[in-house]
A and B are shown apart, each in its own frame.
Chain A
């Protein structure tokens, strides 16, 4: 029955048909390059609009987009974004932060273009991301939602790593997202990824998913197949971690294992305003009950609930984790009522003074880690409501002695405030979408930060051997996460690089030191790149068109600079974070300039850049008219705004298959057919 349905669906399809959709990802030591190739056919004689739409991870940066329509190549160009007047409400897109945890999981990249009658259009997109280790694993998500059945659909993910790959999981196709808090629970009915091939070796694995059109229809006839999720981890040891060197750049992955947990002092500050009523407070309570059960014997804790007024469960102290205390806390949580407004300032102040008092009373273990976990579903409405003042008050109250982790639930939250609060105070922000399972996401977030293993981590490299090193001082290292540092080598011919890691554990200071043989590491990294290229070359699957294969080759060439690009990626993210934290406008401008320059150097579509794409216009008769430009920016959805095609720096489209001509020569104005003609009988 399904094949018959497919035939009917295809016959009724009026949009241009996606003939081929090929998504190739190569994850080279956690840095993932993805190349998407999409070929569309307009079967009708009249011109028709083809829409290329793809969900890409919010943490990723698009690095190239190209269209080929009517034989012409329309290449994208990354340009600095022009300054815009700030919206009055002061809210900003979350991607502005550069903090991946603050972003929604996916963003939509969308490009519509007119395809002349009986013609094909090819859309090609590349994006790059650094996979983050959360809860002891890396997760790579590919959205398979072509919005129609596709004749040739191929997803190909190759993972290559210096360390042995462990715990590889290919999950069921996920129909909707439960959230990005590292939780494994998902809503929606999972679908079995049919025709998935997994080839696994020690340091390399390859996953191929290529459902034919009938198999796609069995999953969903509307082309919404779901998310293809791969999880894995790599083997690690107690040492200074994995350092990789390539073309004058290095990357250092630090995630030691088998360390004892550091005791923590945690204050939970929970919003109990009226808007939390119902599902939100119920799920929050559920999560807190579970979290209480997960507290360790050495930990100390307290609860604060806030609405119009602030209520402290155990005033003036933090209590140790004992069965009685846990039982009493559960009772307090169970009885939490919801009413009134949202007094964020007072809640934070109360939480901070509680922790400060506890820390100064010398009750606390000297090496313990202190943190506030703050949860709200709204903006400040009671007491101090100015974000700037709240942030200033918070900084003064915290004094750098502990970290604030913030969680926002739903759409009414001032995420910018939560994000700044976390960034200013060595924490992280996490958003829980309105419809998501808040309970599992909150628990997932707690699991990420619930087991601190090290504090005050400082990573140093031989002086004068490195420059432009990304963040190398970290307040905490949590179990299941990973610290990634990248930089440039000033002396590429140096034999070794001295690496020193100092940190505090539960009862002692730790110093790890080693000399990394640079030449040896470079050869090793080069070999892996070669291996990756060989795998990609061998993986040119028969159904793929020549152009798709060629695109794969382009991806291969990008791999050769993966360490440098990773450094660029991390530096841009860091620049965006520093911009948010900057105290003066001069400092802010410097960070913006630096991050913009890096985005342009590595062709990243970031919050500071626009992607300008020249688009063909098609006349009613199916011919092409002079192209117009369209600018794409980052955000939750694509923001399209036409720009002047003759604007300064406008890059002309290049010609495909140009023979005997100068490829860089601007294309002449496209023609319009007149009626003056001599045609068939």
Chain B
């Protein structure tokens, strides 16, 4: 999947890819102790399009949101259905529009379009449903994960997306010297990450965003390495 991180304070948008392997579970957001929210995403693979020399594609096939407060609720979203596991288990098809509201937690499905998970009024995630009517072999029904509102997430929030919520970044030009090519670096958390300008399509292709792209599975951009974000199962809530 490709990741886009918006830094509103710095007025910058950064993007990166995490290729991963089918079956990997990636930690996207982790704020287990403070707000009690954890988000994981599971990857599936698909062959590259014919004629392309790229390696296989990966998509999110399942996204889980675990909410701990006031009581533990597991929300599992796939392109076909949403499963809410709390005191009762509710399975909702994605092809119909429905809102499930239980006070603090609200799950709203807009038929075949998106699923919005809202926690406590100041945390919300929007999961886009990408469904193909006649998919090519390299296309798989998959999900897109977007942060709607993050005010309720704490400064200790982590995960591939969560770690950037309260960060500020800056851009700098690499000095030109010897054979080295001139380039741009992103200053984040005291680290310098080489970036190039790219464009990414978001919201299911509805919009295009210009961003600074960090290569190599976001090496140096993210804390640790991408492997550190792999979790053993979908409902893992262990801290960073």
Q: Which residues of A contact B (CB under 8 A)?
A: 45-46, 70-72, 116-120, 620-623, 655-662, 665, 668-669, 671-681
Q: Are B99 and A656 in touch, CB under 8 angstroms? A: yes
B6 at the interface (CB under 8 A from A): yes
Main SS class of interface, A: loop
Q: Are A621 and B206 in touch, CB under 8 angstroms? A: yes
Residue of A nearest to B116 (CB): A671
Q: Which of B49-107 contact A (CB under 8 A)?
A: 57-60, 88, 90, 97-103, 106
Residue numbers in A under 8 Å from B144 (CB-CB): 677-680
B134 at the interface (CB under 8 A from A): no
Q: Are A675 and B98 in touch, CB under 8 angstroms? A: no
Q: Are B128 and A675 in touch, CB under 8 angstroms? A: no
Q: How far is the CA of A677 from the CA of B63 in the complex (A)?
A: 13
Task: List 7 extra interface pairs beyond A672-B148, A676-B6, A676-B147, CB under 8 A.
Answer: A71-B99, A661-B101, A669-B121, A671-B126, A678-B26, A679-B145, A680-B60
A-B contact pairs, 25 of them (CB 8 A): A71-B97, A118-B112, A118-B113, A621-B206, A656-B97, A659-B90, A659-B101, A661-B101, A661-B102, A668-B106, A669-B121, A671-B124, A674-B6, A674-B150, A676-B4, A676-B146, A676-B150, A677-B202, A678-B3, A679-B4, A679-B146, A679-B204, A680-B2, A680-B59, A681-B57
Q: How far is the CA of A72 from the CA of B101 in the complex (A)?
A: 12
Choose from A668, A677, A681 the contact partner of B118 (Cβ within 8 Å). A668
Q: How far is the CA of A671 from the CA of B119 in the complex (A)?
A: 11
Looking at the assembled complex, report how far the CB atom of B1 sits from the nearest CB atom of chain A, in whole angstroms. Answer: 5
Q: Are B2 and A117 in touch, CB under 8 angstroms? A: no
Q: Which residues of B contact A (CB under 8 A)?
A: 1-6, 13, 18, 26, 28, 41, 46, 57-60, 88, 90, 97-103, 106, 108-114, 116, 118, 121, 124, 126, 128, 130, 142, 144-150, 160-161, 164-165, 202-207, 209
Residue numbers in B under 8 Å from A656 (CB-CB): 97-99
Q: How far is the CA of A368 from the CA of B29 in the complex (A)?
A: 90
Q: Are B130 and A673 in touch, CB under 8 angstroms? A: no
Main SS class of interface, B: strand
Looking at the assembled complex, report how far the CB atom of B46 sits from the nearest CB atom of chain A, in whole angstroms. Answer: 8
> A70-B110, A679-B202 are known contacts. Are A674 and B148 too (CB-CB below 8 A)?
yes
Q: Are B149 and A671 in touch, CB under 8 angstroms? A: yes
Residue of B nearest to A658 (CB): B101
Q: How far is the CA of A167 from the CA of B202 in the complex (A)?
A: 64
Q: Are B203 and A621 in touch, CB under 8 angstroms? A: yes
Q: How far is the CA of A612 from the CA of B166 in the complex (A)?
A: 40
Q: Are B1 and A681 in touch, CB under 8 angstroms? A: yes
7 closest Cβ contacts across the A-B interface? A679-B144, A661-B101, A671-B148, A71-B97, A681-B57, A671-B124, A675-B6
Q: Are B116 and A675 in touch, CB under 8 angstroms? A: no
Residue numbers in B under 8 Å from A659 (CB-CB): 90, 98, 100-102
Q: Are A678 and B206 in touch, CB under 8 angstroms? A: no
The CB with the most chain A CB atoms within 10 A, among B110, B126, B149, is that of: B110
Q: How far is the CA of A46 from the CA of B207 in the complex (A)?
A: 10
